[in-house]
Chain A
């Protein structure tokens, strides 16, 4: 089977979008996750690292943020700062689901 795959590689493979919640500590390590374990962990680490960078650079710019959101065509990421780390909500934007928005506490 592996032999055939060498010649017939899928050219238009589509990556699934993550859905769920992750928490990361101040070093960007994933502490908890409800995202499917089939989803690549390195992508989740990238999300955590980038979100922490947005928070820390906003602090450096004298504009500390409690929440950041990144809206893409098919994915919404909302993150809240959590004692140096963050809780990150991942919402794929599909036609079947309404856009969930976490309410502000």
Chain B
């Protein structure tokens, strides 16, 4: 017998719940629909039922949607989450995505594009944890680019991998430009192709984009594939040394370009040595970073305040941010007068660090 997924819709508006229930009845997999009008009820249902997907409103009395999402992200990491809200504020959208939601829909948009909404939900229900780019399962970026070129598309492919964003400009099936991590042209294209997973979307074509890539796409794909193969084969001691040197130079360039003072990358204790660029005598800083992260984790759990997003500090000379990525901790130092969203800049820097 085919297994039916369960969807839980949380919204304080009972009329909206019945409307949403009706709409979700159109899902091809015919999932079981559960509803809750309060966060407390929703948490109780999640505790007792194996729910696959939570559709959550944001603006609710007592416990709002963001609080619920923070709780469920920690308690049920496998649960798919969709925010369906009337709040058209970009800040809430980014906060929701920061909490790891799979999709964010505005209620009016959802009613206007109900077919697309249903398709997105169906895709979320069916999606397994496979590598690949969201939207087309088990296809590498190379496959996606080849498909676009074969169909002679004119489009801009926007590719996102965590906080990193890259773009590929295609015109009549030819790749004309690429941009990623502050570089353009062929170098950017090679960097993008090294990404193993991410999401992509098609943006409208930009025919007036300046052309920086003249090589045919097949030649570029072949060269990049060869480079990747060569990098994967065992290397000689000299080439390891060269590669380490190149990496250090590249990291220094990245640090300078972003305007950071230093980066310390800290593996878990007993799993390698911390690595620092721009800082010396790092042992006390490493100790502080590890302890700060441990304190934040413990406090977050005790207060039930959701996942730790960042730990920061500042004095008159500089600002520091502690960020966790995978198993590693990163301590990034910025000048006291560094402008812009430091959190986003730090995320970008850290994401590029080991890529």
Judge: A and B partners, yes or no.
yes
Q: Which of B180-220 contact A (CB under 8 A)?
A: none
Q: Contact partner of A54 among B284, B292, B314, CB < 8 A?
A: B292
How many residues of B are counted as interface, with CB atoms below 8 angstroms from the partner's CB atoms?
55
With A17-B305, A66-B314, A66-B316 known as contacts, the answer to whether A72 contacts B70 (CB < 8 A) is yes
With A53-B295, A70-B296, A75-B305 known as contacts, the answer to whether A58 contacts B65 (CB < 8 A) is no
A-B contact pairs, 18 of them (CB 8 A): A11-B44, A14-B43, A14-B304, A60-B284, A61-B287, A66-B315, A67-B315, A68-B312, A68-B313, A69-B311, A69-B312, A70-B299, A71-B309, A71-B343, A72-B70, A74-B70, A92-B67, A94-B67
- Write the A6-41 contact mask toward B (1 if CB under 8 angstroms, else 0): 000001101101100000000000000000000000
* B287 and A95 contact, CB distance less than 8 A: no
For B299, the closest partner residue in chain A by CB is A50
Interchain residue pairs A-B with the least CB separation, the first 10: A73-B306, A73-B70, A61-B284, A75-B305, A72-B305, A12-B43, A95-B58, A65-B313, A61-B288, A71-B309
Question: Nearest Cβ distance between residue A57 and chain B, in whole angstroms?
Answer: 5
* C-alpha gap A99/B343 in the complex (Å): 14
Q: Contact partner of A47 among B63, B299, B320, CB < 8 A?
A: B299
- Write the A46-60 contact mask toward B (1 if CB under 8 angstroms, else 0): 110010011001101
Interface residue B339 (Cβ < 8 Å from any Cβ of A):
no
Interface segment, B87-95, B122-130, B164-172? B87-95
* C-alpha gap A9/B10 in the complex (Å): 23
* A96 and B59 contact, CB distance less than 8 A: yes
* A99 and B91 contact, CB distance less than 8 A: yes
Given contact pairs A46-B302, A57-B288, A70-B311, enumerate 19 new A-B contacts (beta carbons under 8 Å): A12-B46, A14-B39, A43-B303, A58-B288, A64-B315, A65-B313, A65-B315, A69-B313, A70-B300, A71-B311, A72-B70, A72-B300, A72-B303, A73-B74, A73-B306, A74-B70, A93-B95, A94-B64, A96-B59
Interface residue B235 (Cβ < 8 Å from any Cβ of A):
no
Interface residue B245 (Cβ < 8 Å from any Cβ of A):
no
Question: Nearest Cβ distance between residue B114 and chain A, in whole angstroms?
Answer: 24
* B66 and A93 contact, CB distance less than 8 A: yes
Q: Which of B272-311 contact A (CB under 8 A)?
A: 281, 284-285, 287-288, 291-292, 295-296, 298-300, 302-311
Interface residue A62 (Cβ < 8 Å from any Cβ of B):
yes
Q: What residues of A have a CB within 8 angstroms of the CB of B73 in the complex?
A: 73
* C-alpha gap A73/B41 in the complex (Å): 21
With A50-B295, A61-B287, A95-B87 known as contacts, the answer to whether A71 contacts B40 (CB < 8 A) is no
Q: What residues of B have a CB within 8 angstroms of the CB of A14 in the complex?
A: 39-40, 43, 63, 67, 71, 304
Q: What residues of A have a CB within 8 angstroms of the CB of B307 in the complex?
A: 72-73
* C-alpha gap A67/B87 in the complex (Å): 33
Question: Nearest Cβ distance between residue B88 and chain A, in whole angstroms?
Answer: 12
* C-alpha gap A61/B333 in the complex (Å): 14
Q: What residues of A have a CB within 8 angstroms of the CB of B302 in the complex?
A: 43, 46
Q: What residues of B have a CB within 8 angstroms of the CB of A93 in the complex?
A: 66-67, 95
For B43, the closest partner residue in chain A by CB is A12
For B58, the closest partner residue in chain A by CB is A95
Q: Which of B73-103 contact A (CB under 8 A)?
A: 73-74, 85, 87, 91-92, 95, 98-99
For A53, the closest partner residue in chain B by CB is B295
Q: What residues of B have a CB within 8 angstroms of the CB of A47 in the complex?
A: 299, 303
Q: What residues of B have a CB within 8 angstroms of the CB of A102 in the complex?
A: none
* B292 and A71 contact, CB distance less than 8 A: no
* C-alpha gap A96/B59 in the complex (Å): 6
Interface residue B332 (Cβ < 8 Å from any Cβ of A):
no
* C-alpha gap A65/B312 in the complex (Å): 10
* A54 and B303 contact, CB distance less than 8 A: no
A68, A69, A71, A77: residue with the most chain B Cβ atoms closer than 10 Å:
A71
* A58 and B59 contact, CB distance less than 8 A: no
Q: What residues of A have a CB within 8 angstroms of the CB of B300 in the complex?
A: 70, 72
Q: Contact partner of B285 among A46, A61, A98, CB < 8 A?
A: A61
Interface residue B47 (Cβ < 8 Å from any Cβ of A):
yes
